[in-house]
Structure 1
Amino acid sequence: MSAPLLVYVRNAALERIGRVDDYTSLTVVPRFNALGAFTMEISADSAKANLLVEGNGLIIQTPSKELIDSGPITSVDWSRSETDAGSGKLTVSGVSDTSVLALYTCWPAPGSAIGSQADTVYKIDGVAAETAMRTLVNVNAGPGAITDRQHPLLTLAADGAHGPVVTREVQQFDGLLPVLQDIGGAAGLGFRVVQVGGALQFQVYEPVDRSGTARFSFGLGNLTDASYTTTRPTCTRAVVVAGGQSSPRVCAVYDRIDPLYPTLTVEQFVDLTSVDSASVDLTEQMDQAAEEALTSGAGKGTLAISPIDIPLLQYGRDYGVGDTVAAQVRSTWVTDVVREVTLTSTAAGVAVRASVGADSGDSTVARIYQYIAQVKRDVGRLKTRKAA
């Protein structure tokens, strides 16, 4: 992109209240099935500075007005050094609208008040993955939730019933966002929350395979640099255990050979002990739990590339986050999903760097967060068993 990105400010009601065309720098990172982020620096003396406050949000578009990301402003920091002119600078940070999903948990009985949560799990029983994801959002945060849990701006796109059939139990008060990531990841579906008119719309979609047309290599002249790294799998054998409380214990082992480490076996315990082993859909639930564990724990390869926009291939028009693209690594073509893109915009134009392959949660901070989340879920299950 030769021109800077377009930035608009919206208020809490999602109404556009101005355009920021004098920022110094802008970095926006849209992510696939995860929370995007943005950071913008601007002079504190800007006439638009009074619009940049917590509670408002930004809408960021390409020069041709395709949406890159949008979301609430979470912090506005002021700083000044002795070399700064005027009143210093503001650093405006925020997250994507998908962050609304991180505000909610999955209640076991979402149609009841908190004092009536007698169940320990919420059951998803043999529906398409998109339907399951859409229902979870609807009953916990959307128009179908009890009144005091409804997000006032959240709506849902029509149900396209995409993805395989899902049968599983959601543990009481698991985070809504991680559950959607588990289901979406195993089903090969994408999800997001985007602004549509005056509402925030939850959407589930099938990512597009553009590997035949979105191809990057030094030979094609559309790369400035590239690097490829790999990480070992954390689960190649899922040991699923159901029952054992009020019903006999049932155990099963699911193996998945890692192509890069074919002789490596890493076992992971998958806890379904809260599931009655006499359930007629026990096999489906165990299969689903194993699929999620093996998908989450698979070995990962991360390809970081710096594409060059050319007339026939441009970010935001010809490929985007969630799409499958192809890039040449040494003498081999790698085909995988664009997990995140970092766009850095200044007056000189926009630099694009894409991460292809392993999900964007592969950073050290995200790994620690994911580990703590897993420990929290495991502790919750232990408490549930002791209380039973």
Structure 2
Amino acid sequence: MTSTALRVYVRNSTLERIGQVDDYTSLTVIPRYNAIGSYVLEISADSGKANLLAEGNGLIIRTADGTLVDSGPIRTVDWSRSKDDSGAGKLTVGGVSDTEVLARYTCWPAPGSAIGAQADAVYKISGAVAETAMRTLVNVNAGPGALASRRNALLTLATNGNRGPTITRQLNQFDSLLAVLTDIANAAGLGFRVVQVGSNLQFQVYAPVDRSGTARFAFNFGNLTDADYSTTPPTCTRALVVAGGQSSPRQCKAYDRADPLYPGLMMEQFVDLTSVDTASVDLAAQMDQAAEEALSAGAGQGSLAISPIDIPQLRYGRDYQVGDTASAKVRDSWMTDVVREVTLTCTASDGTTVKATVGSSDGDGTVARIYKFLAQLKRDMGRVKTRKAA
């Protein structure tokens, strides 16, 4: 393998390292910011390491200098062979990052009670620092503080850094834990992930680093091979938040935020808080929080895909990471935004190449639009069920 090749280690179901795969033919790994990453590895079925690559095991992927790229369980192992193949064929192994564990859980209205005793219609976060609120949600729904029947024995929490602003919000019953964490983190300007630390999976919250002054990519710098920039218009520049209307008087408020990409475009969006009692002492904070999330999620997007070249002065993993803010020159202007995901592709002969996505990772593709529509539909249906249960 080349000196820049990614290092791959295999772990078993208890996270014990059981070997290294150093003869794979290709590997693509995509760590993502506040989302589930993925990887695909190909290896000859004749390899003596092939038997390690089984469902239930997982991979730990590091750069040549030892920096963790991602870790996560193996989900698929596919075997194929053509009639012209003189060997035993090849294995294609697919997996996801350990952050996927958060997608297995929902946010219970009363996480300390059994499923038959879920009398509360909502779970409320009131005046908590964003990181503390995120850690609490993970702890009581999946971590050490969860019911024994729900507790993931491998999941731990990193030390609380008390990062982010104070938030107040109400969760629909049984909302996706991962979706709620993503909403809170994105609105608070925080990052989160689950990675293997020792013999545990650790939930971590972090403040992304602004490296726009040092992580700079441009063709004339010799550290960029191609770039593709696109924009999509906002879906919400005016949030119409409506609270109460059932057992309490109805209250409505509009929140405006002009979009810098499309300053003349006005897009209204209804934000449903009708399950919230308008007599609540923190009503204003809940409405403000809901508006902030709607406006942030509906903002116009700029997406920049770049293929940077690692040079001695600037290398992925050492000088910038997923979640950091970087700069790239688009035509004659500098674009500064978050590195949303990085695709690292490695072959035994060519070493590692890097393709980074700066700015929105949603793009305007059909799959992304369908996913966002279904996610919004699920949230709306959750609100309807909450109202009926109240």
In the TM superposition, what is the alpha-carbon distance from 1:360 to its structure 2 partner? 4.8
**Does residue 348 of structure 2 align to residue 342 of structure 1?**
no
- 1:245-276 CA-to-partner distances (Å, cap 9, x unmatched) read 11001100011101121111111111111111
RMSD: 1.1
Residue pair 2:67, 2:318 contacting (<8 A) in 1 also = yes
Distance in 2, matches of 1:290 and 1:308, equals: 40
Residue pair 2:257, 2:295 contacting (<8 A) in 1 also = yes
Distance in 1, matches of 2:310 and 2:101, equals: 32
**Does residue 222 of structure 2 align to residue 239 of structure 1?**
no
In the TM superposition, what is the alpha-carbon distance from 1:377 to its structure 2 partner? 2.0
Equivalent residue number for residue 106 of structure 1: 107
**Does residue 378 of structure 2 align to residue 382 of structure 1?**
no
Residue pair 2:107, 2:137 contacting (<8 A) in 1 also = yes
Equivalent residue number for residue 90 of structure 1: 91
Tell me how many residue pairs correspond in the alignment. 388
The amino acid across from 2:237 in the alignment is T
Residue pair 1:339, 1:360 contacting (<8 A) in 2 also = no
**Does residue 354 of structure 2 align to residue 352 of structure 1?**
yes
Distance in 2, matches of 1:79 and 1:258, equals: 50
Distance in 1, matches of 2:362 and 2:49, equals: 32
The amino acid across from 1:356 in the alignment is V
In the TM superposition, what is the alpha-carbon distance from 1:359 to its structure 2 partner? 3.0
Distance in 1, matches of 2:85 and 2:319, equals: 40
Distance in 2, matches of 1:257 and 1:100, equals: 37
Equivalent residue number for residue 26 of structure 1: 27
Percentage of matched positions with identical amino acids = 73
The amino acid across from 2:385 in the alignment is K
Residue pair 2:10, 2:59 contacting (<8 A) in 1 also = yes
Matches within 5 A, 1:1-388: 3-347=4-348, 348-360=350-362, 363-388=365-390
Distance in 1, matches of 2:7 and 2:364, equals: 30
Distance in 2, matches of 1:121 and 1:385, equals: 10
- 1:141-187 CA-to-partner distances (Å, cap 9, x unmatched) read 00011111101100001111100000000110000001001000000
Distance in 1, matches of 2:248 and 2:178, equals: 31
Distance in 2, matches of 1:326 and 1:263, equals: 26
Distance in 1, matches of 2:9 and 2:388, equals: 52
Distance in 1, matches of 2:59 and 2:365, equals: 26
The amino acid across from 2:171 in the alignment is V
Distance in 2, matches of 1:329 and 1:135, equals: 41
Distance in 1, matches of 2:115 and 2:363, equals: 32
Distance in 2, matches of 1:361 and 1:257, equals: 20
Question: After TM superposition, where is structure 1 displaced by more than 4 Å over at least 4 residues in a row?
Answer: 360-363
Q: Which runs of 5+ in 1 are unaligned?
A: none
The amino acid across from 1:236 in the alignment is T
Indicate the SS of the match to 2:186. helix
Distance in 2, matches of 1:383 and 1:127, equals: 26
In the TM superposition, what is the alpha-carbon distance from 1:362 to its structure 2 partner? 5.9
In the TM superposition, what is the alpha-carbon distance from 1:363 to its structure 2 partner? 4.5
- 1:267-287 CA-to-partner distances (Å, cap 9, x unmatched) read 111111111101111000000
- 1:122-156 CA-to-partner distances (Å, cap 9, x unmatched) read 01010110001110000100001111110110000
In the TM superposition, what is the alpha-carbon distance from 1:366 to its structure 2 partner? 3.4
Residue pair 1:2, 1:350 contacting (<8 A) in 2 also = no
Distance in 2, matches of 1:129 and 1:249, equals: 28
Distance in 2, matches of 1:71 and 1:342, equals: 16
Indicate the SS of the match to 1:268. strand
Indicate the SS of the match to 2:149. helix
Distance in 2, matches of 1:134 and 1:6, equals: 31
CA shift in 2, pair 1:207/1:138, >3 Å: same
Indicate the SS of the match to 1:83. coil
Worse-matched range after superposition: 352-361 or 165-174: 352-361
Indicate the SS of the match to 1:149. coil
Distance in 2, matches of 1:102 and 1:217, equals: 37
Distance in 2, matches of 1:75 and 1:366, equals: 23
The amino acid across from 2:202 in the alignment is Q
In the TM superposition, what is the alpha-carbon distance from 1:380 to its structure 2 partner? 2.4
CA shift in 2, pair 1:143/1:76, >3 Å: same
Residue pair 1:129, 1:183 contacting (<8 A) in 2 also = yes
- 1:336-356 CA-to-partner distances (Å, cap 9, x unmatched) read 000000000001210100000
The amino acid across from 2:179 in the alignment is P
Indicate the SS of the match to 1:384. helix
Residue pair 2:303, 2:363 contacting (<8 A) in 1 also = no
**TM-score (norm. length: structure 2):** 0.98
Indicate the SS of the match to 2:78. strand
Residue pair 2:105, 2:177 contacting (<8 A) in 1 also = yes
Q: Which runs of 5+ in 2 are unaligned?
A: none
CA shift in 2, pair 1:287/1:296, >3 Å: same
Distance in 2, matches of 1:164 and 1:361, equals: 28
The amino acid across from 2:183 in the alignment is D
Worse-matched range after superposition: 257-266 or 181-190: 257-266
